[in-house]
Amino acid sequence: MSSIINSLPPNLAKIVQRFQRATDPKRRYEQLIWYGQKLKEFPEADKISENKVPGCVSQVYITAALADDKVIFQGDSDSQLTKGLVGLLIEGLNGLTPVEIVKLTPDFIQETGLNVSLTPSRANGFYNIFKTMQKKALELQS
């Protein structure tokens, strides 16, 4: 097991390990789509410019709230694969404190093997979604 996985929060480490077991790029995509399907229904009322992720080709929305000092994200996208990236990040980051989220680096995507399967615009979208989630976590902290 790599040291990156050991430094990740438990949920994120589990996700990375799950993707590492899926050696076939097609399986990774299926897994990604599965994360998107697991997302809770996103309220239409939250599809506003403040919640829109900048720099994404797809329409991506993220909201964040605090519950017992832990961040709870919700998100949605009009693209199945991007929605999967949103679902993966929500699954991996929900329940962490703002400080834990802000300290993370997006390098774990390399460990999943997804970075080699993602188009440059989707990889860029992943980083934009991740950075937006960090920004929202930071705003909740203050």
Catalytic choice (12, 53, 56, 114): 56
Determine the residue type at 111.
E
The C-alpha atoms of residue 142 and residue 136 are separated, in whole angstroms, by 11
Residue 34: partners with Cβ closer than 8 Å, 6 or more residues away: 84, 87
68 φ/ψ sector (left φ>0, alpha ψ -120 to 50, else beta): left
56 is catalytic: yes
The residues annotated as belonging to the active site are 56
